[in-house]
Structure 1
Amino acid sequence: MIAPTDATDMSTRDAADVLVLRTGTHGMPVEQYAAAIRERLPKQTVELARTPTEEREAIETARFVTGMTLDEDLLEAAENLEVFACAYAGTGHLPLEQLEERGVAVTNASGVHGPNIGEHVLGAILRYTRRFHVGARRQDRREWRHYQAFELQGSTVTIVGLGAIGEAVAERLEPFGVETIGVRYSPEKGGPTDEVIGFDDDGFDDALARTDYLVLACPLTETTRGLIGHDEFVTMDPDAVLVNVARGPVVDTDALVAALRSSWIRGASLDVTDPEPLPEEHPLWTLENVQITPHNAGHTPEYYERLADIVAENARRFGEDSEAELRNQVRP
């Protein structure tokens, strides 16, 4: 960790090659992130700004900055900023219009979550397949009573979104003998699933009717907002299960509650909800056919290590050529 410096020192010394902003994630100290980047860039200077004052001072001269967030006030102070390496896969929380107006390249953390969210989805599917939640309830009651389960082999799993997370899910399903359908904006690109379709009504509805497990792993866009609602739940088989690791608003929450209460679907595993956090009084908490995790699928002890691989590589490319193509660049 870089030794603390006063504001005068920070404002007069040369800018670091990489500036790390102070906000961490998943309860892990941001010092670990800075250390991981520093380990990968022994010949470059990596500075961690640990206070709001240090951030404002350091960002004035910084050209390459990485962090979870970048608010408009801090961006105003970033007079020389050329690259912002967002430490999240999603960038919708950033002032993207202002960044684009200033010609700042934006990269994201796509790929960092693939292994852990892939495992989360697989765990959710197996939970509902073997009905471990039913066994847990009977264990709590010390009740030795048989219950029926399902078998994953031969099932159809539809994965909406074939980015890094969707690909990781498909890869982990391969040994289980399932049929997979991938849904993406450009189906002509293909993918790791047995079948790839677009979002057009007929093809998507046909996939829903054949689906045993529907996995949502897509970004929230105009196309995907409210993608799964009343009509989609009615189209799905009553034994189908929804797994949402995308964003809450991809699903119409009222329609989801109605579907679960009316047995239009068998269950739902929700890592994200709408609203989020889910209010204490919300009916989803009390439904026995619902599994809720608090937007936790993204947690992994390897987060900073994987993220540092991407950011350090981009910092190295940028240091050699400021016009170089950057990995995971989303803007401009």
Structure 2
Amino acid sequence: MVERESDDSTEPADVLVLRKGTHGVPIERYADALRDRLPDLTVRLARTPAAERELIRDAEFVTGMALEEDRLERAENLEVFACAYAGTGHLPMDRLEQQGVAVTNASGVHGPNIGEHVLGSILRFTRRFHVGDRRQRRREWRHYQAHELQGSTVTVVGLGAIGEAVCERLEPFGVETIGVRYSPEKGGPTDEVVGFEPDPFHEALARTDYLVLACPLTETTRGLVDRDALVTLDPGAVLVNVARGPVVDTDALVDAVRSNWIRGAALDVTDPEPLPEEHPLWNFENVRITPHNSGHTPKYYERLADIVAENARRFYEDSGVELENRVDF
């Protein structure tokens, strides 16, 4: 049995866990998962604001969902902040860079669950389960037409850990895949790779049956799926967005659904988010909305702890090995 450190102690911690959790799962599970993997290091959970302010003063290695400016001001010895999210746009990155703090993220943690979410969304539209649900509610035994995924073309925008997980799960279905990434010369797990330039991107859209957005939100991807993109898609195409809401022009999407420019959309993210109750997207039968839920998995803290514990070992062993998932400033 691993000895648990008292969370109310003010003794310095080798690894300090900040108190904010995610997905409704107690943050204690993350701290325990780290302790299981780091029996030779002191892992301490700062369970209150006061504990955070006190313990972060001497901490060299800190992990958490966020790092507020006032906490960073107190962090006199901080060398590594292991962000517990894949995205780091919410962090004070300029300040962290100025203070020489290395930042890592949780890239790869979401691959299996978001990959499954995307596959489920595609299959729902392929086999038109929403139509079956409606007929079951009406107790109506009447056949309806469906589609077949085999032979379709799936375009995946973003070939990071999530995009790769999507492609891996699509492989047994006999589809053609097109990847979109900043550096197409790097290739990827798809049959073809193109860049974000308008001409190759729109040429890919014209051949696409299912468009999966799994990219970060950047100046390049903001509004990427605009009116031109939606008109270029085949009317039988389906949009699946597990990236960020602003990657899609929401007004153009509403017009696309109303005017049958596309067959439908599965949206785990929206713009704005949360989606207001009166928004028209709620009312379309061929739009499937989930509340930014594709990231939920009971394995989140376990996968995150694997990454962060390995980085803590590398840090304290001074092995010279680069930290995993290190973020470039």
TM-score using structure 2 length: 0.98
Structure 1, unpaired ranges of 5+: none
Query: What's the CA shift string for 1:122-168, capped at 9, x where partnerless?
Result: 00000000000010011011111111000000000000000000000
Q: Which residue of 1 aligns with 2:213?
A: 216
CA distance in 2, matches of 1:85, 1:331: 13
Which of 36, 45, 48 aligns to 1:48? It is 45
Asked if structure 1 preserves the Cα contact closer than 8 Å seen for 2:113 and 2:296, the reply is yes
Query: What's the CA shift string for 1:49-92, capped at 9, x where partnerless?
Result: 00000000000000000000001111111111100000000000
Give the AA of the match of 2:200. G
Which of 131, 136, 140 aligns to 1:139? It is 136
TM-score using structure 1 length: 0.97
The number of equivalent residue pairs is 326
Across the aligned residues of Structure 1 and Structure 2, the Cα RMSD in angstroms comes to 1.0
Q: CA deviation at 1:2?
A: 3.5
Which of 62, 66, 71 aligns to 2:68? It is 71
Which of 313, 316, 322 aligns to 1:316? It is 313
Is 1:173 aligned with 2:170? yes
CA distance in 2, matches of 1:106, 1:326: 9
Q: Which residue of 1 aligns with 2:261?
A: 264
Which of 2, 5, 10 aligns to 1:2? It is 5
SS at 2:206 equivalent = helix
CA distance in 2, matches of 1:231, 1:327: 39
Runs of 4+, deviation exceeding 6 Å: none
Give the AA of the match of 2:208. T
Q: Which residue of 2 aligns with 1:157?
A: 154
Query: What's the CA shift string for 1:201-230, capped at 9, x where partnerless?
Result: 111000000000000000000000000010
CA distance in 2, matches of 1:231, 1:107: 36
Give the AA of the match of 1:3. S
Q: Percent identity?
A: 79
Asked if structure 1 preserves the Cα contact closer than 8 Å seen for 2:7 and 2:45, the reply is no
Q: Which residue of 2 aligns with 1:57?
A: 54
Is 1:283 aligned with 2:280? yes
1:38-117 mapped onto 2 (5 Å cutoff): 38-117=35-114
Asked if structure 2 preserves the Cα contact closer than 8 Å seen for 1:34 and 1:48, the reply is yes
Give the AA of the match of 2:135. R
SS at 2:277 equivalent = coil
Query: What's the CA shift string for 1:276-320, capped at 9, x where partnerless?
Result: 011111111111110000000000000000000000000000001
Asked if structure 1 preserves the Cα contact closer than 8 Å seen for 2:18 and 2:52, the reply is yes
Structure 2, unpaired ranges of 5+: none
